[in-house]
């Protein structure tokens, strides 16, 4: 690796699995110190053990302001500063027809996908403004740039993430803080496996199905999104702010829209593809 993040401190929400875990590994390999912030305690602690003394775990519910503030404060107390905040935690959330969707399921989805990004951005800014530097990265989705690619609450929240990213980038630019979003297309994770196959552990079938709809002929994996986050976190993107980087093999620009998510009956899809 190239040491593009040598000595920098990052908090990554949703870092115990999927894109977050891939990003945590890549950031540490590039020299960063990382706080793994996630509700999945066992998986998060296992990842920190794997990464060694360059990582810490914070049990974090991103809908809780106290939890998000504590994860940021842990980075500062353990590593001395905060250079990168990656607001990545997410779920598919409420799935079903708009006429049948429970308001509680809608509210829970918006809380995790949009309130969580707001809280992460707020508390990162609290630390970054006095140091006059920092990078905030938010996970959006191709469902945030087009309609018909995801469930209704998910799509609404991801559009909101992109709008919040642009708005905050404008406010924080005078403080030397860059704010960007990443919009992943279909990526092979437990969450997409749950949607695609009904089994969050069936990554092989998920890979094959995503590859079959990809203009490039192969599926995106967590490292593809982690590489985008690495770019935005590094000095290579020093003049990039307020931008949404779409990482989708060209599906949203080539007119090759994947099959709409199966709406089916009302339900919720949570972290790592768990359903209720």
* Predicted confidence (pLDDT) at residue 261 exceeds the cutoff of 90: no
Work out whether the CA dihedral 272, 61, 10, 160 comes out positive or negative. positive
Q: Report CA Rg, the chain.
A: 17
CA 29, chain centre distance (Å) = 19
* Higher per-residue pLDDT: 126 or 273: 126
Domain ranges of the chain: 9-273
Say which residue the tokens 């976190």 belong to: 233
Could you tell me the end-to-end alpha-carbon distance of the chain, in angstroms, rounded to an integer?
Answer: 41
The pLDDT tens digits of the residues spanning 34-84 come to 999 999 999 999 999 999 999 999 999 999 999 999 999 999 999 999 999
CATH match of 9-273 with 3.90.1150.10 = no
Q: Is 156 exposed, middle or buried (0-12, 13-18, 19+ CB in 10 A)?
A: middle
The pLDDT tens digits of the residues spanning 163-210 come to 999 999 999 999 999 999 999 998 888 777 777 788 888 888 888 888
Q: Write down the catalytic residue from 154, 218, 231, 239.
A: 154
Facing residues of 182 across strands? 139, 245
Element (H, E) at 134: strand 134-139
* pTM for this predicted structure: 0.91
Averaged pLDDT of the chain: 92
pLDDT value, residue 15: 98
231 is catalytic: no
pLDDT value, residue 270: 62
Q: How many CB atoms lie within 10 A of CB 96?
A: 19
Beta strand residue intervals within 40-119, DSSP E: 55-59, 84-87, 93-95
Element (H, E) at 75: helix 65-79
């Amino acid at each position: 690796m190239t040491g593009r993040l040598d000595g920098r401190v990052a908090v990554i929400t949703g870092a115990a699995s999927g894109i977050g875990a891939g990003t945590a590994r890549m950031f540490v390999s590039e020299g960063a110190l990382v706080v793994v912030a996630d509700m999945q305690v066992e998986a998060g602690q296992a990842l920190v053990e794997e990464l060694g003394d360059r990582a810490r775990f914070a049990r974090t519910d991103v809908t809780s302001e106290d939890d998000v503030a504590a994860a940021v404060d842990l980075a500062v107390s353990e590593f001395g500063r905060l250079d990168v905040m990656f607001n990545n935690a997410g779920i598919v959330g409420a799935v079903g027809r708009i006429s049948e969707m429970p308001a509680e399921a809608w509210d829970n989805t918006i809380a995790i996908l949009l309130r969580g990004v707001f809280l992460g951005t707020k508390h990162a800014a609290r630390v970054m403004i006095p140091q006059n530097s920092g990078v905030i990265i938010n996970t959006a989705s191709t469902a945030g740039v087009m309609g018909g690619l995801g469930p209704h609450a998910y799509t609404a929240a991801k559009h909101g993430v992109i709008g919040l990213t642009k708005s905050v980038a404008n406010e924080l630019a005078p403080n030397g803080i860059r704010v960007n979003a990443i919009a992943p297309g279909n990526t092979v994770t437990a969450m997409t496996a749950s949607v695609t196959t009904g089994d969050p552990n069936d990554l092989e079938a998920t890979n094959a199905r995503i590859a079959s709809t990809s203009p490039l002929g192969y599926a995106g994996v967590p490292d593809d999104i982690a590489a985008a986050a690495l770019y935005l976190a590094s000095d290579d993107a020093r003049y990039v702010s307020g931008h949404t980087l779409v990482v989708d093999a060209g599906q949203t620009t080539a007119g090759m829209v994947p099959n709409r998510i199966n709406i089916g009956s009302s339900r919720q899809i949570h972290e790592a593809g768990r359903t209720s």
